[in-house]
Structure 1
Amino acid sequence: MSIYGGSGHIIAGGSHCVSSSNSLWLDIVKTDHKVDELGINFSRSMVKTIGNGCSTRFWHDHWLGNEPLKSAYTRLFRLEQDKDVMIYNRVLRQTPSVVSDAGWVQDPYGQTRCELTEINNLLQALTFDSSNEDSWRWTLCGNGVFNTKVLTELIFSKMFQTNAPTNCETLRNNFIPKKVEIFIWWAKRKRLPSFLELDMRGIDLHSIRCPLCVDELESVEHSLLSCKLAKIIWDKVYSWWDKQNVLHQTFEDIYNNNDMNSEVGAKVWQAVKWVCTYLIWRNRNQKVFKLSSWTPPNALRLALYACELITVAIFAAFYVCFS
């Protein structure tokens, strides 16, 4: 119940999900479409390798061709009596293998007969192995075994590549660690787990006020821009760079790197702002999860000191690379 929701279930095929309430499992399943938007064919990357054919559905599972047969041969699928029939019960294992003529609502003819012929032609290259069970093969990895590390690297490479799809906004700055780039990417999409975001997703919390200042509701913008602690840190950072601190209203003030004269200088200034944003959120998490003995002065000194060190390190790297 806690995973599927009240009466949530996944309809065979994986392309349509139904739930009467919020469901953690359904949210996970739906992420395959978000991965596809990055240019990774994840939703169709799991393919069945046929052994005896006893555990693979003839129409719904992806085992023959480039997609499930119910999607590739829609007219013939409508004539099927048993939509959930297994391969073992639908294919005559002979040489060559063919689809059984039994089990149709009516005999295929015309276009449906052509579709049946195409399936039989594809079956000629298939060999059944009655001694082994059916298994899954992940096509995005050379050994066919699903690997979270490989998928993570694929996602990151698509997220931060310069020629990513136009509907996938990317962020890239070589002066900062990848974890900061990922954090900024999530922050700009307003997907950080602030108390207000969690409350909007139906998660019950003791309070949704900012854990640092306790003055306002904790949205992502408040935590990183308008919280009292955040304002003090931003004032200090801007003073280091001898720049006038403007009141941050949106994330564009942080992500924009066009407020410097040179391209390299703008990139360095952008890196400092991104790292500062990351450190503000990290100290917020230390307070929320009690990862250390946290008090506002200690957190402030830690954030300012870290920002100062990173600023110096960036300038040192810049001097070595471009001097």
Structure 2
Amino acid sequence: MTSIHGVHGGFDLIENQISHLPNSPWKSIIDLKKPLSQLSINLSSIFTRKVGNGETFSFWNDEWLGNTKLCLLFPRMYVLKTVKGCLISDRCHQLNGSCNFTWAWRRLVRDGLEMEQYRELLGLLVNFVPSSSQDSWICSLGNTLDFSVSSM
């Protein structure tokens, strides 16, 4: 899916871009985005990311830890980043059952709001530990929660 529809699975495409996608079962699912939104059903809320090794999802630009992108929750930290599109695996590494973080700041974090956001970010990440499994998607409509096109 990502090779055809991008890392966001096509959910981030605007309507005229969707019409140019190749015909496929996934394109049919994405095509439901507009009619479902008219019924107050958010298609992207049905599909959520399940982080495994973090090699697929963006640390800052994907909703993977809660319902908001980290770049929006921690804008001061995002501005300090040297690589805005880094993956979760670029920042979080499992070591002895816990997660170690590798940051790439343009400069040291300063006191005040920056330090406050940094501490909040670390607090949000305190229980996160990447696994050895691959990243995947969860579909809240199925019995197993694992996503497959055939289940749709």
Distance 1:113 1:129, change over 3 A: same
Residue by residue over 1:234-268, the C-alpha shift from the partner in whole angstroms, topping out at 9 and shown as x without a partner, is xxxxxxxxxxxxxxxxxxxxxxxxxxxxxxxxxxx
Gaps of 5+ in 1: 152-323
Distance 1:69 1:44, change over 3 A: farther
- Superposition pairs of residues 148-159 of structure 1, within 5 angstroms: none
Distance 1:23 1:87, change over 3 A: same
Name the residue aligned to 1:111. 113
Give the number of the structure whose residues are more often helix, by fraction.
Answer: 1
Distance 1:42 1:126, change over 3 A: same
1:77 aligned onto 2:78: yes
Deviation at 1:81, TM superposition (A): 1.4
Deviation at 1:64, TM superposition (A): 0.8
Residue by residue over 1:187-214, the C-alpha shift from the partner in whole angstroms, topping out at 9 and shown as x without a partner, is xxxxxxxxxxxxxxxxxxxxxxxxxxxx
Distance between the aligned counterparts of 1:118 and 1:15, measured in 2? 27
Deviation at 1:133, TM superposition (A): 1.4
Q: Is the 8 A contact 2:52 2:131 kept in 1?
A: yes
Paired residue type of 1:125: N
SS at match of 2:45: coil
Distance 1:88 1:150, change over 3 A: closer
Distance 1:70 1:44, change over 3 A: farther
Q: Is the 8 A contact 2:55 2:89 kept in 1?
A: yes
Distance 1:61 1:22, change over 3 A: closer
Q: Is the 8 A contact 1:65 1:122 kept in 2?
A: no
Deviation at 1:148, TM superposition (A): 7.3
% of aligned pairs identical? 24
Larger Rg: 1
Q: Which has the higher contact order (CA 8 A, sep 6+)?
A: 2
Q: Is the 8 A contact 1:11 1:17 kept in 2?
A: no
Task: Give the alignment's Cα RMSD to 1 decimal.
Answer: 3.7
- Superposition pairs of residues 15-30 of structure 1, within 5 angstroms: 15=12, 17=14, 23-25=19-21, 29=30
Q: Is the 8 A contact 2:48 2:138 kept in 1?
A: yes
TM-score normalised by the chain length of structure 2: 0.66
Paired residue type of 1:23: S
Q: Is the 8 A contact 1:96 1:123 kept in 2?
A: no
Gaps of 5+ in 2: none
Alignment size in residue pairs: 141
Paired residue type of 1:103: A
Distance between the aligned counterparts of 2:6 and 2:15, measured in 1? 6
Residue by residue over 1:248-305, the C-alpha shift from the partner in whole angstroms, topping out at 9 and shown as x without a partner, is xxxxxxxxxxxxxxxxxxxxxxxxxxxxxxxxxxxxxxxxxxxxxxxxxxxxxxxxxx
TM-score normalised by the chain length of structure 1: 0.35
Distance between the aligned counterparts of 2:114 and 2:39, measured in 1? 36
Name the residue aligned to 2:53. 52
Distance 1:129 1:146, change over 3 A: closer
